[in-house]
Amino acid sequence: MTILNGKKLSEKIKLEVKKEAENLKKEGITPGLAVILVGEDPASQVYVKMKAKSCKDSGIYSVVHEFPETISQEELLDTIKRINKNPNIHGLLIQLPLPKHIDPTIVLEAVAPEKDVDGFHPYNVGRLVAGLDSFAPCTPLGVMEMFKEYNIDVKGLDACVVGASNIVGKPMQALLLNEFATVDICHIHTKDLAAHTKRADIVIVGVGKPNLITADMIKEGAIVVDIGINRLDNGKLVGDVDFENVSKKTSFITPVPGGVGPMTIAMLLKNTIKAAKASK
């Protein structure tokens, strides 16, 4: 069993990003990322601080636009329009979730596709599904980067993605299909989840339910990627996989924390560099 160490790989990627940022600066381009944070959700505030620190460490200029939860949708859309027109900002990220009175679909569609480093705009989603160059969402992109780093060729393998969100599950399916894996996608209405996971060479899960995937649901030698992150009553962070027991049957597995999580921010930095290069 080999641990897919996302923390170690993310540090390697950040060094590569720093080098690319330095090269762009020599050409007169400072890669810039803007983040919009609405309200005071504690988890969102932590994520935004982590993103800002990673940008600083990697030589990317970053600015955080913080707004009270009472901001109107129109005010928010006006801010997005201004950032879209700013040539010094190459990437724009809307920190989710947004307050209930703001329509996330309208807000995400307002981001210029060429600055959509989160890969949530329908333009980029469509290009991803069509197998064309695009910005892909950072978490599933990070999973593919881990496969590449550990020489895991998904071509011809049976993959089961558990969770069908627009942010993780659906783009994960598209990325795997683009690399010629055979993909099965499961969700809350799937009748017999174990029947799908048992026959899969790769199981990728991200639903936010501790210990959802148990050892009896995995075949010997499977590759298991745990995108879930849950805090137990005792304060411990765990994923959606019963790591202790499942890991005994796997060929590769991600830990939580230290697996996919650090890769998400690393891929955001990489996407920002990609956007800055495209602006030349």
The answer to whether residue 45 is catalytic is no
CA atoms of 205 and 211, how far apart (whole Å) = 11
Closest CA to 151 of 1, 266, 4: 4
Strands 61-67 and 32-38: parallel
**How many CB atoms neighbour CB 192 within 10 A?**
9
Catalytic pick among 51, 115, 170, 274: 51
160, 169 contact by CB (below 8 A)? no
Catalytic pick among 14, 95, 115, 201: 95
Radius of gyration of the chain (CA): 19
The answer to whether residue 95 is catalytic is yes
The answer to whether residue 236 is catalytic is no
Amino acid at 33: L
62, 51 contact by CB (below 8 A)? yes
37, 45 contact by CB (below 8 A)? yes
State which H helix or E strand residue 164 sits in: none
Catalytic pick among 115, 116, 118, 240: 118
Active site residues: 51, 95, 118
